[in-house]
Amino acid sequence: MKKIYLFCNAGMSTSLVASKMQDVANQHQLPIEVKAFSDAKLASTVEEHHPDVILLGPQVKFKYEETKKKYEPQGIPVAVIDLEDYGNVNGERILKRAIKLLKEKGGK
C-alpha cells in the first residue's frame, strides 16, 4: 500500500481533499492510503509512518524547499498541491499528480 500524505496549516481543509483523493483511489481499487495532517506534525509523521509522497497545501508552500531538501534524498517526492485543484477539491487530478510522482521515483 502506497501512502500519500498531505500537510497544511491545521489539516482541516486538506482533510476534505484527502477524502476526495481516497474516494477516487477506492473507486479504481488502487492500493493507496491518503491522509491529511497539520504541517506542525510533518517531521514526526514522516518519521513514524514513512509516506511514499508528501503533498503540501498551497497555504504552506513556503515550506516546500526545506521539505524537499530534507525528504527527497530519502526517496520521498515532495510537491505543492496546485492552488486551483486544491480550491476545487479536485481529488482526481491531485491523486494523478501524486501517482505520477510515485512512478517517477520508481514505485508503482
Q: Please list the active-site residues.
A: 8
3-state DSSP call for residue 30?
coil
Give yes or no for a contact between 45 and 71, defined as CB atoms under 8 angstroms apart.
Answer: no
If we measure between CA atoms, which residue out of 48, 34, 47, 107 comes closest to residue 77?
A: 107
Strands 78-80 and 2-8, how do they pair? unpaired
DSSP state of 95: H
If we measure between CA atoms, which residue out of 75, 76, 82 comes closest to residue 97?
A: 82
Cell 499528480, residue? 97
